[in-house]
Amino acid sequence: MATHINATSDLLSYVRNISVRDDEILAELRRETAALPAGEAMQVMAEEGQLLGLLVGLTNSRAVLEIGTFTGYSTLCMARALPADGSLVTLDISDKWPAIGADYWKRAGVADRIEVRIGAAVETLRNLLTERGPESFDLVFIDADKANYPEYYEASLALLRPGGLIIVDNTLFFGRVTDPDAQDPDTQGVRALNTLLRDDDRVEISLLVMADGITLAHKKGA
């Protein structure tokens, strides 16, 4: 039986060279983000950003919710994949990092599709449910503080239409999920979500061994 390959730096470079369809706006934003403290570790990889855009298109999404903006690279990748009248609501705890991405969104011509909500995501998600009602989004991308992942998932599922898709980043969390000595709130939050997803018959799931682990959860009932 075949096993997973060892993703060496040479192999990752090959994957990026052969598959990533990049442009200067995306590359510039990645470079600016990488120069920030912990920026390179926190930003979405180029191939993951491309996957996000592909999934937005494949699901025919018109309304996207993102939990965790950072500098807005993933925001840009998904907003570009939306139709001209589509919308993306992105949540962050601070306006400092999304402000970096705002200029790139404008340069890419998608700023009018993006709404930034600043504040604690748990509270913002409750407000969105009140404002928009349940099942009001086609796709949700979760990439924020890991301790609250289970709560973000439940709120996202309520906001997601039947047949919609939830994408969760960092579900392998630097390999810490398998380390019994890793008992910090973030690692425990990721473990709790992974167990919840495994046992949740409301969704169909696949955990992709890509980047830092990406889980796709397809909401049943379409």
**194: exposed, middle or buried (Cβ count in 10 Å: 0-12, 13-18, 19+):** buried
Residue 123 located in a structural domain: yes
What is the Cα–Cα distance from 141 to 79, expressed in whole angstroms? 12
pLDDT tens for the chain, 222 residues long, are: 566 778 888 998 999 899 999 899 999 999 999 999 888 888 899 999 999 999 999 999 999 999 999 999 999 999 999 999 999 999 999 999 999 999 999 999 999 999 999 999 999 999 999 999 999 999 999 999 999 999 999 999 999 999 999 999 999 999 999 999 999 999 999 999 999 999 999 999 999 999 899 999 999 996
Angle formed by the axes of helices 24-34 and 46-58, to 10°? 130
CATH assignment at residue 71: 3.40.50.150
Q: What local confidence, expressed as pLDDT, does residue 41 receive?
A: 82
pTM for the whole structure = 0.95
Q: What local confidence, expressed as pLDDT, does residue 62 receive?
A: 98
Residue 190 located in a structural domain: yes
Residue 130 located in a structural domain: yes
Range of the domain at 105: 9-219
Q: How many domains does the chain have?
A: 1
Residue 3 located in a structural domain: no
Residue 2 located in a structural domain: no
